[in-house]
């Protein structure tokens, strides 16, 4: 058989095998660096005192996120664009496949009128990115604006026109478990509707307004073209409500947001500033008028309350399966009241703090008043007030968090979107309080899957100063054969037990620090 002149450049079997081995090694090295935890893994965060309630000689240290040097990473559009006035993350970011998807609130005008966008419409705009930093605004071709459809406005159809006009916070949820593909994407947003256009009316509680802050729900097959659910707001028949989140936790869909007196009050009936309330629905069609008190800042509940301390626009939330984490607006009134003719909230300042919930209803601050993202120094683009979104993604070694700036002077200055990052799941860590003493923590009981794995997100451990990890039984006693030492730092370090785990509905974990340990434990992952 003849051989072509090019055949000498075709590698032989031995060369191919060597190349394959090299590729496998490279793949193993790469995957060892990138965490492989699944969305179904149970996460026990260091700052979560319900998941890790038992502690000896340990303290929680929360971590402030690092702002991206290129902030703001998504800017307002040119004149004539639907987001020329502002582009703010009263919205959502999540990663779908290899694409980051963002839904945000645009405003075409550069001025507000009486505290509102002219026409009570700030369109739902859409952007995409491959890295979460550099964003494109695709021409969706769905909504006619300025004489053409070359824009990134999402389409919303509904039986009442005012229900389709987004004017405040929009929270997008991807609901993979919904059997109806046309309902896989869900959104809740605020529309300011005329009272006489609300079927079912509103309650007699509070003050009657010309336009009601209405909670509108809609569904979509692709997240771009939406259909309003029903013919009336979710809060029809109830009180006005400034919805700012949407998530599914357990058997219910939840929406949380802010309300203040006279529509809500403290437990004893006294007046209050902005609180977080939670509403729920079993089917995303009918929402109960009964609400739960979800969160207030500590100073709001003291007697007397801390002057000017409130929370703002509920919470931007991240559902981690067994726990909800997120950011809330730490509102503080202006030091001096705005003068006549000045914007009503001039001088208000807002930073973003951490909240956590284990039931999806009741939230708390792990360390009150800690600023995960603080507003910038005077003169920075984000120096006045910050806005949180539902915008958290674990990507590689980082947790990415997007946020916005709000110009409380009412001039719509620098109202754009920024990015902040943490070590992956690195909101905070447990470390010894006194260095000359040992330390330990014991988790709450959890269910162990057959051959389940346990991982730690840790730093500062060495062969000379390891952590000891033990599996405990239903009486919190060590189980023989399940004690191991952690000598390697990393984002997802497996506990090297000598035998496979046997399924059991009630187990716990004990982690021991030796005297002088410099270790930081950020999270424990329980995987199937």
Q: For residue 438, what is the domain's CATH number? A: 2.60.120
Predicted confidence at residue 41, as pLDDT, reads 85
pLDDT of residue 34 exceeding 60: no
Predicted confidence at residue 288, as pLDDT, reads 96
**Mean pLDDT computed over 140-145:** 98
409 pLDDT tier (thresholds 50, 70, 90): very high
**The two three-digit tokens of residue 477, written as one number:** 């006693």
Which residue do the tokens 């010309």 mark? Answer: 210
**CB-CB contact of 324 with 317 (8 Å):** yes
Domain check: are 351 and 384 in the same one? yes
- Any domain includes 313: yes
- Any domain includes 503: yes
Among 425, 453, 468, which residue terminates a domain?
Answer: 425
Domain check: are 167 and 232 in the same one? yes
| Model confidence pLDDT, tens digit, residues 51-95 | 999 999 999 999 999 999 999 999 999 999 999 999 999 999 999
- Any domain includes 296: yes
CB neighbourhood size of 335 (10 A): 9
Which letter, b or e, does each residue of 4-16 get, where b requires 16 or more Cβ atoms within 10 Å of its Cβ? eeeeeeeeeeeee
Domain check: are 196 and 49 in the same one? no
Percent of the chain residues past pLDDT 90, beyond the cut: 90
490 pLDDT tier (thresholds 50, 70, 90): very high
Task: Provide the whole-model pTM.
Answer: 0.92
40 pLDDT tier (thresholds 50, 70, 90): low
Q: How many domains does the chain have?
A: 2
Domain check: are 329 and 399 in the same one? yes
pLDDT of residue 507 exceeding 70: yes
Domain of residue 338, residue span: 67-425
Mean pLDDT score across all residues of the chain: 92
Domain check: are 303 and 235 in the same one? yes
Predicted confidence at residue 38, as pLDDT, reads 54
312 pLDDT tier (thresholds 50, 70, 90): very high
Among 425, 442, 472, which residue terminates a domain?
Answer: 425
- Any domain includes 449: yes
- Any domain includes 218: yes
Predicted confidence at residue 28, as pLDDT, reads 34
Domain check: are 448 and 412 in the same one? no
CA–CA distance from 203 to each of 236, 503, 523 (Å)?
8, 51, 45
**CB-CB contact of 157 with 228 (8 Å):** yes
Residue 474, judged by CB atoms within 10 A of its CB (0-12, 13-18, 19+), counts as: exposed
**Mean pLDDT computed over 102-130:** 95
């Amino acid at each position: 058989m003849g051989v072509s002149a090019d055949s000498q450049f075709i590698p032989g079997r031995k060369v191919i095998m060597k190349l394959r081995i090299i590729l496998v090694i490279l793949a193993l090295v790469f995957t060892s660096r990138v965490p492989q935890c699944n969305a179904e893994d149970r996460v026990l965060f260091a700052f979560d005192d319900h998941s890790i309630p038992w502690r000896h000689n340990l303290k929680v240290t929360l971590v402030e996120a690092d702002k991206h040097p290129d902030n703001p990473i998504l800017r307002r559009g040119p004149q004539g664009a639907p987001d020329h006035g502002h582009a703010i993350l009263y919205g959502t970011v999540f990663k779908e496949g290899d694409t980051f998807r963002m839904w945000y609130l645009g405003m075409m005008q550069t001025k507000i009128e009486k505290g509102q966008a002219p026409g009570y419409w700030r369109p739902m705009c859409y952007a995409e990115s491959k890295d979460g930093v550099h964003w494109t605004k695709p021409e969706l071709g769905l909504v006619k604006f300025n004489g053409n459809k070359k824009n990134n406005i999402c389409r919303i159809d509904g039986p009442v026109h005012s229900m389709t006009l987004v004017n405040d916070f929009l929270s997008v949820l991807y609901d993979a478990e919904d059997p109806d593909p046309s309902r896989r994407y869900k959104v809740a947003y605020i529309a300011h509707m005329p009272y006489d256009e609300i079927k079912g009316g509103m309650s007699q509680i509070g003050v009657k307004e010309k336009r009601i802050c209405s909670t509108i729900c809609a569904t979509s097959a692709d997240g771009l073209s939406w259909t309003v659910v029903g013919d009336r707001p979710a809060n029809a028949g109830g009180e006005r409500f400034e919805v700012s989140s949407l998530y599914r936790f357990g058997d219910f869909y939840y929406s949380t947001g802010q309300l203040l007196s006279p529509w809500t009050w403290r437990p004893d009936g006294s007046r209050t500033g902005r609180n977080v309330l939670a509403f729920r629905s079993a089917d995303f069609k009918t929402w109960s008028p009964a609400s739960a008190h979800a969160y207030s800042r500590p100073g709001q509940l003291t007697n007397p309350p801390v002057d000017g301390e409130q929370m703002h626009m509920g919470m931007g939330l991240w559902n981690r399966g067994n726990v909800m984490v997120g950011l809330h607006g730490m509102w503080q009134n202006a030091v001096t009241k705005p003068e006549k003719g000045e914007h009503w909230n001039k001088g208000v300042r807002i930073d973003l703090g951490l909240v956590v919930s284990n039931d999806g209803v009741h939230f708390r601050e792990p360390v009150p008043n800690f600023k995960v993202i603080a507003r910038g120094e005077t003169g920075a683009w984000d120096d006045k007030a910050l806005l949180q979104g539902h915008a958290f993604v674990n990507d590689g070694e980082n947790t990415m968090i997007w946020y916005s700036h709000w110009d409380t002077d009412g001039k719509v200055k620098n109202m754009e979107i920024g990015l902040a990052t943490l070590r992956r799941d690195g909101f905070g860590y447990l470390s010894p309080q006194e260095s000359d003493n040992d330390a330990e923590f014991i988790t709450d009981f959890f269910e162990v899957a057959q051959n389940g794995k346990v991982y730690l997100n840790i730093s500062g451990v060495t062969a000379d100063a390891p952590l000891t990890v033990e599996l405990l039984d239903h009486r919190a006693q060590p189980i023989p054969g399940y004690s191991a030492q952690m000598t390697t730092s990393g984002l997802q370090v497996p506990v090297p037990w000598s035998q496979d785990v046997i399924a059991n509905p009630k187990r716990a974990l004990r982690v021991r620090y030796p005297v002088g340990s410099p270790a930081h434990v950020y999270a424990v992952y329980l995987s199937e």
